Every structure is written in structure tokens, then in C-alpha cells.
């Protein structure tokens, strides 16, 4: 971030790395979304008055039909795409109940951590892979 930029110029996104054993949960961005056909760690925009953890609990409930707990910070990523700037607040957890399903029609799957390099992600997500030690 340059000196004249503030966090307010970004769209704040809560991103959740949900773990189960040596796997993480991914969802496939749909044709009508930006970065269509890229895989991503689920999440969404943080609403006014929400903490990152509250946003993740809401998003995982809405998008994947599961209840999550105990989100812990992993990394923060300010990123400038051509038309939008996002500020990713990336958290991780392995505490959840239920089995993730694509509540919004998106494909969802568990992927072995060492196989994440085989998947195409939006550019900003590459730093998440680095933070996960891949």
C-alpha cells in the first residue's frame, strides 16, 4: 500500500481456509463471476459491523451449508486487479460441523494440500498458497 492509499479504498473480503486432515475445502467460481472457472478458498465480502470471523461463519453457512468455529488469522493480502482493489483477510480453521455442499450451485471439493499447485486460482490467492507453505 502506498502512503496515500488506505484500507477504505479496498473491498474487504473474508477468506476461509477450511482444513480437514491434510485437505482443504475449495469452491469453483461460476461462469457469471469474475475469475470464472478458477478455484478459490470460500468466503465473501465483510458486511458493515461484522468481524472477519462473523463474516466467515455467515458465508460458510450461506455458501456451503456448514457451521464453522474458531477461525484464526493466516495472512492479509491487499491486491489490485485492473478494475478493483481487494483486501483479503485470510483465516483458517479445522472446526466445523456438516459436510460442505455448493449451496449456490458452485462445485465444492476437498483437495489434498500438496495438490493445490495443480489448481488455477485468482492471482491474489497465490500468497495464500505461500502462507500455507506450498
Is 96 annotated as belonging to a binding site? no
Which whole number is the average pLDDT over 8-36?
A: 87
Rg (CA), the chain: 14
CATH number of the domain that residue 119 is part of: 3.90.79.10
User: Is residue 99 part of an annotated ligand binding site?
Assistant: no
Query: Does residue 49 sit within a domain?
Result: yes
pLDDT at 122 over 60: yes
Domain that holds residue 28: 9-131
Is there a domain that residue 36 lies in? yes
Q: Is residue 14 part of a domain?
A: yes
Count structural domains, the chain.
1
- 3 occurs within a structural domain: no
Taking only the tens place, the pLDDT of each residue in 96-117 is 999 999 998 899 999 999 999 9
Establish if 123 belongs to a structural domain. yes
Would residue 98 count as lying in a domain? yes
* pLDDT at 6 (0 to 100): 54
Backbone angles phi, psi at 73, to 5 degrees: -60, 140
Residue 4 lies in a domain: no
Residue 114 lies in a domain: yes
Mean pLDDT calculated for residue range 6-14: 81
Residue 41 annotated as binding site: yes
The pLDDT tens digits for 25-68 are 999 987 666 666 789 999 999 999 999 999 999 999 999 999 99
Angstrom distance (rounded) from CA 55 to CA 29: 19
Q: Which residue has the cell 463474516?
A: 55
In the prediction, which pLDDT does 34 show? 63
The answer to whether the annotation marks 63 as part of a ligand binding site is: yes
Amino acid at each position: 500500500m502506498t502512503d496515500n492509499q488506505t484500507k477504505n479504498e479496498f473491498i474487504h473480503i473474508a477468506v476461509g481456509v477450511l482444513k480437514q486432515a491434510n485437505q482443504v475445502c475449495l469452491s469453483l467460481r461460476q461462469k457469471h463471476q469474475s475469475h470464472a472457472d478458477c478455484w478459490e478458498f470460500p468466503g465473501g465480502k465483510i458486511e458493515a459491523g461484522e468481524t472477519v470471523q462473523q463474516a466467515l461463519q455467515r458465508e460458510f453457512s450461506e455458501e456451503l451449508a456448514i457451521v464453522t468455529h474458531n477461525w484464526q488469522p493466516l495472512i492479509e493480502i491487499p491486491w489490485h486487479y485492473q478494475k478493483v482493489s481487494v483486501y483479503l483477510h485470510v483465516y483458517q480453521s479445522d472446526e466445523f460441523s456438516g459436510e460442505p455442499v455448493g449451496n449456490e450451485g458452485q462445485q465444492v471439493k476437498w483437495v489434498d494440500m500438496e495438490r493445490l499447485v495443480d489448481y488455477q486460482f485468482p492471482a491474489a490467492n497465490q500468497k495464500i498458497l505461500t502462507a500455507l507453505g506450498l
